[in-house]
Amino acid sequence: MAEENFLTRCHPHMLGEDGNIDLAKCEALSLDMADLRALGVSLTLVGVYSVGPYRYNNLKDALAQARLDKSLNAAA
């Protein structure tokens, strides 16, 4: 990514519970970006999948839990 485009926009992890971007978090991150870039730190976004009360970093595990939940609900 070109330096002029280095996190110049907010990312999905900046979404609040209501689905809107939390501008305070986005602005705070943008203030830190020059320091991060100068130190060679890069931001890596990690997918987190929520299935009911559970959270998974692995898509296959999340799908397995969702399918299990669906089958248990259908049997009830």
Domain spans of the chain, in order of start: 3-39, 46-76
Query: Which tokens sit at 72?
Result: 């248990």
Using a cut of 0.75, tell me whether the model's pTM lies above it.
Answer: no
The set of residues, in sequence order, having a beta carbon less than 8 Å from that of 51 and lying 6+ positions away, is 62, 65, 66, 69
Tens digits of residue pLDDT in 28-71: 777 777 778 888 887 777 788 999 999 998 899 999 999 999 99
* Cα–Cα distance measured from residue 28 to residue 61, given in angstroms and rounded to the nearest whole number: 33
